[in-house]
């Protein structure tokens, strides 16, 4: 008995006990999150952000950039912001973890007038998935990251503004052999629909945008027959997307361009962009009540830099309406911006899982 105790004590003194190791990891995690809070809070203190957009017309952009580090170091994102000055920019597949955000001093790559919201994958998977949203000159009323049980891959950011909700998502791909099809359709899509409808019920229209990983109709893909059983064009995924739209939402590009054949994604493995053999899997979807406010919904296939091209939507805002922002209307996973709760996660990159 004494020998075991002595051996255990030796092991703990040499390597640390399991409890000590867990405690140390938790302490390090809290310390890292606190550093990130201070890091981004300094930007909030430097700039006086407004509570709402002062202009009537705003332009929202969305872009799967397939890794943000190369975009930043090569200056692609800086050039994009200077040329297009989006009011809101939503990014997908950022592939960056919270430690790297600090090490790179990520703030220096963006103009100070952009309010930053990041949602990274949780450990231990680094360099996988991830989303971010940048808002020019305006502080969202409320920020919510993820929804339901889908809180490990950093795939969703929900922002509340005075006149609408913005839900920015990087929807899971069903994977090779459709191995994640059941999760994608029966769990993610179902729970996302509930999330969108719950927001609508609070009294504001919803804008849902991002890489939705589905080509809805045959017009949205270059080879519908050859791709019929591939992830992103399976009958189940297309039907599931139809079901979401039937809940009172509109695909803005197809609504405004019913016959135009244009794509947002091209596989880099076969250089398919050169032959324009692509997929339209990036969308701006809005509540039906908002569709008359949509001026344009565009696909910018002339802009290079990723296997996806950016998309944009021009929106005319309605006159000011009452904000449904009281404590009794909060979601369990939401928090007021003033609390500056930043939920950063990490993940490991898997090249073959998502478009």
Binding residues for Mg(2+): 64, 93, 211, 213, 307-308
- Would you state the structure tokens that stand for residue 116, as one six-digit string? 């930053």
- Residue 156, sorted as left (phi over 0), alpha (psi -120 to 50) or beta, turns out to be beta
Pairing type for strands 334-336 and 282-287 reads: unpaired
Catalytic annotation on 308? yes
Q: Which of 216, 251, 308, 345 is catalytic?
A: 308
Q: Which of 211, 282, 345, 354 is catalytic?
A: 211
β-bridge mates for residue 58, sequence order: 315
Ordered alpha helix ranges (H), 47-200: 68-73, 76-84, 98-103, 181-182, 190-200
What CA dihedral angle connects 224, 229, 235 and 237, to 10 degrees? -100
Give one DSSP letter per residue of 87-121, joined into a string: SEEEEE-----HHHHHHTTGGGGS-TTEEEEEEPP
Catalytic annotation on 222? no
Contact 164, 206 (CB under 8 A): yes
- Residue 339, sorted as left (phi over 0), alpha (psi -120 to 50) or beta, turns out to be alpha
Catalytic annotation on 300? no
Q: Report cis status (omega within 30 of 0) of the bond before 124.
A: yes
- Would you state the structure tokens that stand for residue 40, as one six-digit string? 């981004």
Q: Point out the annotated binding site.
A: 64, 93, 211, 213, 307-308
Catalytic residue numbers? 170, 211, 308
């Amino acid at each position: 008995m004494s020998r075991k105790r002595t051996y255990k004590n030796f092991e703990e003194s040499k390597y640390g006990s399991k409890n000590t190791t867990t405690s140390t990891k938790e302490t390090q995690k809290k310390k890292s999150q606190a550093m990130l809070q201070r890091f981004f809070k300094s930007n909030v203190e430097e700039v006086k952000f407004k509570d709402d957009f002062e202009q009537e017309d705003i332009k929202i952009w969305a872009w799967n950039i397939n890794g943000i580090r190369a975009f930043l170091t090569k200056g692609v994102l800086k050039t994009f912001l200077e040329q297009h000055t989006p009011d809101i920019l939503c990014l997908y597949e950022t592939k960056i973890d919270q430690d790297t955000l600090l090490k790179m001093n990520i703030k220096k790559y963006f103009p100070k007038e952009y309010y930053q919201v990041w949602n990274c994958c949780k450990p231990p998977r680094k360099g996988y998935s991830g989303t971010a949203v940048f808002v020019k000159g305006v502080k969202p009323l409320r920020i919510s990251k993820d929804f339901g049980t889908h809180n490990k891959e950093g795939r969703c950011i929900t922002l509340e503004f005075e006149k609408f909700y913005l839900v920015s998502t990087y929807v899971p791909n069903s994977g090779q052999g459709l191995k994640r099809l059941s999760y994608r359709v029966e769990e993610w899509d179902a729970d996302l629909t509930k999330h969108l409808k719950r927001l609508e019920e609070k009294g504001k229209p919803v804008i849902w945008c991002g890489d939705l990983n589905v080509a809805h109709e045959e017009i949205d893909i270059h080879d519908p027959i050859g791709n019929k059983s591939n992830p992103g064009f399976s009958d189940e995924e297309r039907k599931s997307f139809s079901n979401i739209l039937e809940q009172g939402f509109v695909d803005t590009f197809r609504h405004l361009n019913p016959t135009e054949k244009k794509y947002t994604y091209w596989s880099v493995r076969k250089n398919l962009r050169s032959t324009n053999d692509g997929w339209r899997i990036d969308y701006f979807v809005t509540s039906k009540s908002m569709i008359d406010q949509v001026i344009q919904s565009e696909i910018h296939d002339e802009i290079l830099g990723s296997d996806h091209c950016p998309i944009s939507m021009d929106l005319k805002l309605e006159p000011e309406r009452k904000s449904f922002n009281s404590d009794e209307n909060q979601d369990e996973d939401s928090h007021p911006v003033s609390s500056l709760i930043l939920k950063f996660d990490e993940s490991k990159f898997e090249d073959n899982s998502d478009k």
